[in-house]
Each structure stands twice: as C-alpha cells, then as structure tokens.
Structure 1
Amino acid sequence: MTATPPDADVLLSVRELGVTLHGVPAVSGLAFDVRAREVLAVVGESGAGKSLTARALLGSAPRGALVTGSVRLRRTPGSYDELVGAPASVLAALRGRRTALVPQDALSALSPVHSVGDQLVAAVRSVARVSRMEARARAVAALDRVGIADAARKARAYPHEYSGGMRQRAVIAMATINEPDLLIADEPTTALDPGLQEQVLRVLGEQREAVGAALVLVTHELGTVRDHADRVLVMYAGRQAEQGPARRVLDHPAAPYTAGLLASLPPGRSGGRSARRRLPTIPGAPPAFDRLPPGCAFAARCPLADDRCRREEPRARTVGDGHEVSCHRWEDVPRPATELFLERSV
C-alpha cells in the first residue's frame, strides 16, 4: 500500500498511531512527521509509551500488540510504503537497509558468542552482495568512524571485552553501516554516566549526518534535547502532550506537563535558567494505562486543571508555527512556564 503525505520532504508520516496491549490502549492518537535528515526527540517520564511507539514505528511491537493507524515510510520522492499491517517479510527487509535501531541495552543487542567484527560483517552481507573480505573492511571502517581505537584489533574482540561506552558505539556502527534512511535510537544512553552520555549522543549525531539519515531519539533526558534535536514530541500516558520545534518547546512550553519536566531539571540542564534554592517537582505519578481517568490524563497532577480537564480529553491544537499542544488551559500557562510548579516544590 502506498500513499503520499502533503509535504514531499516528509520521510516518515505517522497518523492516528495506536497500540493496544491485551485490550488496553497504551498509545493513542499520535500524529507527527519526520523530515529527511531531521532529528525528532520523543520525551516523557518512564511509562509514557515512548519505547512502545518506537517499536511500533519499526513494525516490531511486542507479541500480542495491536497497532492501528498509519506509519508511512518514503520509498522514492512521492511514493510511500505503509508499514502498519505490512507482512513480516516486508518489514524484515526494511530493517538494516532503510530503517535501523540503536537499542537501549547494547550488551543484550550484541551476540556474546560472536566477535563484534563478525556481527558487523553479517549486517553488511545481509543487505549487500559483497565478499567477506570487503564486508570485513567495511566493519573495521565503521568501528573506526565511531571512535573505537585500533579498530582492526577491536573487531576481533567479543562484546564482553568492550566497555559500556564502546558497546554503545559498536551498535551505532552496526545501525549505520548500511546507510539507512531512518534511525530510531531507544534510550541509547541508559546506564551510562553523564560524560559518556554526551559522547555517545555526539557520535550518534555524527554518524547520522554522515549517512544522511533522519533520527527519532527516544529519551527521558530532556536536558540533552536542546543540543541534539530539531523537533520535540512530548508524550504523557501514551498521548501527545506537546510537539514542535525544539527551541520553541523548550523556551516557551505550552503544556503544563512540559513545563513540569523542564522545571524538574537540575540547574544548568534546562537551557541556562538560573539555579533555584528548591527544585520543583511534578506531584504524583503517571497513571497506569489500564486505569486512565476520564478527561485529561494529566489533570490529577496539573495545577491548572479544572472540571473541563477532568471531564473532556483535550485534542491537539496549533498554537504557533509547527507548534501543537493538547491542553484546555494552555493559554493560562505562566511565563516563564516553569514557575507553574514552583509553589509545589519540595
């Protein structure tokens, strides 16, 4: 099945994406575009549905999940493939060639019984008819590009012989070695210290630019988004809270939830805002997917919530150039928006 989104520059077009797990809607109504070479950061607290969304984009949602809506990937200018409902053989053919995943846990993603080089060779030969010698040369070059010293020797090593940062670089090399159009990085800096996190994100960005790929970056580290993303999609309880150009969303959030995330960042991580004596927090915790309240899912934690919020689910509305928010009370969010949660700080 093919279709053409309105903008021919769109690489990935997502409309009304939903994911139901065991009869429970875990992701609902997501709609966004990713343009060629663009970086979209998908952010939110743990349990927001970010990783589930990423897997649905790749056609690899958990067994038993029902994916609905539309996910269209550009094949050629003006021609798009529909991924929702596509046969498993079609989806498998896309992975590694036109799409690739940088996973959260590099150690689990790499086989412990094969050298890193052999796994890269297998990735090359799965999409290209080249000799093993040529594939080995590409594997070594890929490791060298991601900053692994003495790449020829390290290619013969096994994953357990790599440090955590090196393993993450290796999976970036594997994801980009066949120059896909779309990369999806699912929490690629989990369990790494802050210094390594920045290094890995820098390497990921360099490799994305080198192969000309677009990137969907799934992260809960909102403080890293400013320097690494063009656009931001903020998720809460499997729904869109806000999306738009990264700097606009970070500097002028329209959703109370986005404001709370930014206010909760430690001093120095929220785009240069001055340090405060007290660190604001969002009260409470996100609701479970099988116990979503009526109305806005964030209402119980929102200082601005009123009866309408608790009764009627908000729909996305445009509040600026490319800037959307799903909130009834967005016009009442103060400036700076982070002050909204200051009185609730601890």
Structure 2
Amino acid sequence: MRPEPLLSVRDLRIAFDGVEAVRGLSFDVRPREVLAVVGESGAGKSLTARALLGMLPPDATTSGTVRLLGETDLAAQRGRRIALVPQDALSALSPVHTVGDQLAAAVRSVTRVSRKEARARAVAALDRVGIPDAARKARAYPHEYSGGMRQRAVIAMATVNAPDVLVADEPTTALDEERREQVLSVLGEQREAVGAALVLVTHDLEVVGRHADRALVMYAGRLTELGPAKEVLGRPLAPYTAGLLASLPRYAPAGRRLPTLPGTPPAPGALPEGCAFAPRCPLAADACHHEEPEPQRLDERLVACHRQAEIPHPAVELFREEPHAAS
C-alpha cells in the first residue's frame, strides 16, 4: 500500500499582474523520495519551489492548495518541517555572523533549548556534512569558508532541525562536475540521516538520472510529464521531454550535430493557443494548436500530450539531425 504523501499540491496557480506563471500544477511528494523538477528556464520550477516553502514574493497571487502533512500554513512550517537548500550559499549566509551562530539561531528558532545546546547541535550538524574541525570552523565567518564548504554549511542549516521535506533549488548551478557530485552526495547523505524527502529543482537531466526517484517535467508553468525517473528518461512519452534528452551529448552519434530544441519557451503573457509546446514540436497536429492537453494517467505516469501514442522509441530521434556530409 502506497504511503500517504508528505506534501500535496493541487491545482497550484501563481500569477503576477493577472498573468499566470504556474498554471494548474498538481503533484505529491512521498516520504523519503527524491522528486526532481526539471525544465528550461522560465518553466516555473523555482516559483513552484518557493510556493512549497511559503516564500513567494508579495506581488504574487495564488490559488489552489499546498499541504504539508495536512497543514496549509507553510511559512509556519519553514525551518521545522520543510527547509530550503539555496542555490547561492554565499548570499544565503549572513556575512556578519559566524556560521555556528547562524546554525544555532536556526535551532533556537524552532526548539526551546539553551544557547549551549543549540551551539552543540550546530557543531554536530557541521561535522555531519564533513566540515573538518567543526568546533573551530563554527567560529568562522562565511567568507573564511571555501565555496564547497559554504554549500555544505547551508545543507547543514537546512537539515539541523531534521525536517520532513528538503527543497533544493538548483543547488549545483555553476559547480564543476566533481564539486557537483560532492554536494549531491552530501545532500543525499543528510536526507537519509534525517529521513527527509527531497524536492530537487534542476535543469540537469544527468543529475536526475543518478539521484531522483521520480521526475516532474514542466513547460510553460504546467506539468508535461511525471513518473519514475528511469522510465521518464528511458522512454519519454512527451515530445518536450524527448527534446530535453536529445540535447544531451550522450545521445549524439558520431557525424551528427548535437541537436537543440527549436525556438524558445513562450513568455507567460504570450502563450500560443492550444499546447504551449506545439510551435516547437515535430509531432504537432491540428488539435495541438487549438486545445491544451490535460494530464492523462498511463500506469505510473501522468502525461499531458495529444500525441503521446505517436512518440517513437527512442524518442530522441524526433530531434536528431541528419549526418553532415564530409566537406
């Protein structure tokens, strides 16, 4: 029997000045799972992550529901039951307080403990993420940490109160491959240590394949495809997912140019009629240009595509170019 979701999102809509940037998004996050949220820039990934944390900007208007363990007051749960691993560790940490003081403040913000106990928990959290000589480094300021150590410190801050859900918004952007794997490894270890689920916002499909249990693919603020990560990446049922995969170097045979998705994503206020992806889709038919597809359940997957039954295997062939003749 499938466990009840920790986090339940139903018909989430986020708008600015009447223009919707997230449009009717629904999904669940299960206990201890890793759900990757992927898509191009402007898909609505980070806005969705902020909605989960109750951190949307004041000029945003929302409808729909986001429930964390049945509760809808997300801001009250932030730091206690749900926590953020930010993209930019340096800007997330205060430059005028030591790292240890900031972690101790995070502890005392949700738990009535002495300053000494909060400090001890802060040092233990830094030690768990692999900060060497944690007691001494707790007395250091963020600028005295290396970039990798700062990223570990914000993971320690997110996990210090053992939340039920972690939300990591592009935590490896601008990191080289070695540093990226180190950060993801630490994040995974800490998620396991506190028994948390993880919502991982990323544009990196290679990361999804290695670290996620399920993948939610977004385009123009809506769900395009949702299902087990290995199935979504192994046999996509939406042309947009296939286009993202086709742009990966490992799918480019010798003699063929690395393909890219044609065109660009539409602006939220300038969506085409019908399916938002239709102007870029090689399978688009008349219905695609006139009727927006609703997500349909196919076994363990949800797919929003009129032409999903027509997708070839491998689907990346939809976007491959013909070999170029030798010059």
> TM-score under structure 1 normalisation?
0.90
2:286 aligned with 1:291, yes or no? no
CA separation in 2, counterparts of 1:302 and 1:161? 49
The match for 1:167 among 150, 154, 160 is: 150
Please tell me whether the aligned partners of residues 256 and 323 of structure 2 are also in contact (alpha carbons under 8 angstroms). no
CA separation in 2, counterparts of 1:308 and 1:249? 24
Q: Deviations over 1:245-287 (max 9, x none)?
A: 11110101000000010111122xx7xx866642111011101
2:127 aligned with 1:144, yes or no? yes
- One-letter amino acid matched to 1:322: E
The Cα shift of 1:154 comes to 1.2
The match for 1:339 among 283, 307, 317 is: 317
The Cα shift of 1:140 comes to 1.1
The Cα shift of 1:344 comes to 7.6
Name structure 2 gaps, 5 residues minimum. none
- One-letter amino acid matched to 2:41: S
Give the direction of change, closer, same or farther, for the CA distance of 1:290–1:121 in structure 2 (3 Å limit).
same
**Aligned counterpart, 1:46:** 41
SS of 2:97's equivalent in the other structure is coil
- One-letter amino acid matched to 1:177: V
2:87 aligned with 1:104, yes or no? yes
CA separation in 2, counterparts of 1:345 and 1:177? 53
Give the direction of change, closer, same or farther, for the CA distance of 1:41–1:134 in structure 2 (3 Å limit).
same
**Aligned counterpart, 2:203:** 220
**Aligned counterpart, 2:68:** 73
**Aligned counterpart, 2:22:** 27
2:301 aligned with 1:323, yes or no? yes
The Cα shift of 1:132 comes to 1.3
CA separation in 1, counterparts of 2:269 and 2:256? 38
- One-letter amino acid matched to 1:161: E
**Aligned counterpart, 1:3:** none
- One-letter amino acid matched to 1:24: V
CA separation in 1, counterparts of 2:9 and 2:48? 11
Q: Deviations over 1:209-266 (max 9, x none)?
A: 1000111100001111111111000000111110001111010100000001011112
- One-letter amino acid matched to 1:46: S
SS of 1:343's equivalent in the other structure is coil
SS of 1:149's equivalent in the other structure is coil
CA separation in 2, counterparts of 1:256 and 1:344? 19
**Aligned counterpart, 2:172:** 189
Give the direction of change, closer, same or farther, for the CA distance of 1:231–1:344 in structure 2 (3 Å limit).
farther
Please tell me whether the aligned partners of residues 165 and 192 of structure 1 are also in contact (alpha carbons under 8 angstroms). no
CA separation in 2, counterparts of 1:222 and 1:160? 32
CA separation in 2, counterparts of 1:262 and 1:312? 25
- One-letter amino acid matched to 1:331: A
Please tell me whether the aligned partners of residues 100 and 183 of structure 1 are also in contact (alpha carbons under 8 angstroms). yes
2:6 aligned with 1:11, yes or no? yes
- One-letter amino acid matched to 1:300: P
Q: Percent identity?
A: 71
The Cα shift of 1:105 comes to 1.1
- One-letter amino acid matched to 1:26: A
The match for 2:192 among 209, 212, 229 is: 209
Please tell me whether the aligned partners of residues 283 and 344 of structure 1 are also in contact (alpha carbons under 8 angstroms). no
**Aligned counterpart, 1:156:** 139
**Aligned counterpart, 2:260:** 281
Please tell me whether the aligned partners of residues 165 and 197 of structure 2 are also in contact (alpha carbons under 8 angstroms). yes
Runs of 4+ aligned residues of structure 1 deviating over 3 Å after TM superposition are 273-277
SS of 1:174's equivalent in the other structure is helix
SS of 2:321's equivalent in the other structure is helix
> TM-score under structure 2 normalisation?
0.95
